[in-house]
A and B are shown apart, each in its own frame.
Chain A
């Protein structure tokens, strides 16, 4: 085997591997910088600023953008989240039920509501429900309708999350509870669900972020001035001032909530990772 001499440095003309690698990296930076410069040069900054960053219009939005619009957005989101959580928990338990029709019904619900755009569900709640049940009012007016629509949408996602969380609790936990004399229902409530919620806290918080954005669909229900949330508020003001600054401000208000929430989710996820290790 000694006659097979392996060349240590394959003699090739041109660049070595290392040189090729740094060349490729330099090219990537060059493309990036070129794109930024091209954008900066070609964009009409003056007009952009004119349209989106008028300080006096922005000023005029306060304090209503916070005390009314952001407050309503948060209210809609939280009420939708609570409805979704309750409904989703019911669906998750139905999915895990030993009664066939319950499982079947929950699966159908989840497939339908995960497959439909949230917008259609808002229209459905706003139009179809009053038509189908004439004379009945959804309690809470617009707030009730939004809570129902957002709840219907999020329940489908949350049901799957909660089910996965329940199934992720080790089987020994249920056995230990049952051997101590817990009934299946008591074991589920006192032992399994509290542990499941620890597991699914990050995905549930993500769902809250999604709902926060979906609450903008309220404008398809038709709202009074007092019921406006961020998107509607921004759009209305943008059309009265013929300027898009309110849209930018409303957008920043969303980020004010979603970015910290995402940060919290990442923190929880890395903590959960540590707990597993």
Chain B
């Protein structure tokens, strides 16, 4: 691992008077899968959105693949082509069918010809197990299917890094599994992934590292066995005990949705 694929240095982000990130340092190596966990309002989604500059950091630096995104002269659109992003609310383009959702960005952004774009779209739809939905419109798909299409759309651009912003939080519980299965497979194939999630089983099973955030700082950063299995900090322990109690976990997820929205 020569240079980290994602590197965050001294990152601060404020919304008005509200300082959401208070100095984050983070490195993610090539092929590494890092899950970011933490209570709602801890700044984990904001951190993720700073990594592809959907949020402009107030202070600090962000590097992806060795390019500094926070450099004012950087071609941000060119850098973003290397970074796939998956949103909590899927954000498929509702006026396009599934295949067009995958081909339009390839053609408009990467300048691929029709045939190539269609071939790559079909490959990636097959990759997420939705080849038979190629002609469907997003509104006719379940949440889980929409999220898998969204993953395929990001993958079709050939990214080196994938960012996931609570990809399963908006899904009915019975649909979470399909999306996590696609992500697990992607991790196994060696994709560099940064995942903001509440799915502790996924984090424990798939992540190489787990980062626990609270109050805009990284509280704990280590292997899943260590951070989830044997947390060193009281704040981590407190958070995990609430999350792992199923009754409390539901309340947690709902409030995090609301905070996630107000953050944007």
Contacts and interface: CB of A to CB of B under 8 A. Distances in A.
A223 interface: no
A45 B150 CA distance: 69
Contacts of A177: 93, 105
B95 A181 contact: no
B53 to A, nearest CB: 9
Given A173-B91, A173-B93, A194-B95, A179 B52 contact: yes
Contact of A178 (B54, B89, B92, B108): B54
A178 B108 CA distance: 12
B94 A190 contact: no
A190 B80 contact: no
A26 interface: no
Contacts of B95: 194-195, 198
A168 to B, nearest CB: 13
Contacts of A190: 104, 108
Interface in B35-83: 52, 54, 77-78, 80-81, 83
Interface residues of B, number: 27
A201 to B, nearest CB: 12
B91 A181 contact: no
B54 A181 contact: no
Contacts of B109: 180-182, 186
B11 interface: no
A270 interface: no
A73 B41 CA distance: 60
Contacts of A117: none
A79 B142 CA distance: 44
A191 B104 CA distance: 9
A176 B149 CA distance: 13
B85 to A, nearest CB: 4
Given A175-B87, A194-B95, A180 B264 contact: no
A178 B157 CA distance: 13
Please indicate which of the listed interface residues B77, B81, B139, B264 has the most CB atoms of chain A within 10 Å of its own CB. Answer: B77
B78 A172 contact: no
A170 B264 CA distance: 12
A26 to B, nearest CB: 49
Nearest to A189: B108
B154 interface: yes
A183 interface: yes
Given A175-B54, A186-B109, A195-B94, A180 B87 contact: no
Nearest to A171: B264
Given A175-B87, A186-B108, A190-B108, A180 B54 contact: no
Interface in B198-242: none
A180 B89 contact: no
A271 to B, nearest CB: 13
A25 to B, nearest CB: 44
Nearest to B89: A172
B153 interface: yes
Nearest to A195: B95
Contact of A176 (B83, B93, B108): B93
B93 A181 contact: no
Contacts of A191: 93
Given A191-B93, A195-B94, A179 B83 contact: yes
Contacts of B78: 181
A243 B218 CA distance: 88
Interface in A147-190: 170-173, 175-183, 186, 190
B156 to A, nearest CB: 9
A190 B54 CA distance: 19
A113 to B, nearest CB: 31
Contacts of B83: 179
A194 B93 CA distance: 10
Contacts of B52: 179
Given A171-B264, A186-B108, A190-B108, A181 B94 contact: no
Closest A-B pairs by Cβ, 4 of them: A176-B91, A179-B85, A181-B81, A172-B91
Interface of A: 170-173, 175-183, 186, 190-191, 194-195, 198, 275
Given A172-B91, A179-B52, A182-B77, 11 more contacts: A172-B89, A175-B54, A177-B93, A179-B154, A180-B80, A181-B110, A190-B108, A191-B93, A195-B94, A198-B95, A275-B139
14 contacts: A172-B89, A172-B91, A173-B91, A176-B91, A176-B150, A177-B93, A179-B83, A180-B105, A180-B109, A180-B153, A181-B78, A181-B80, A181-B110, A182-B105
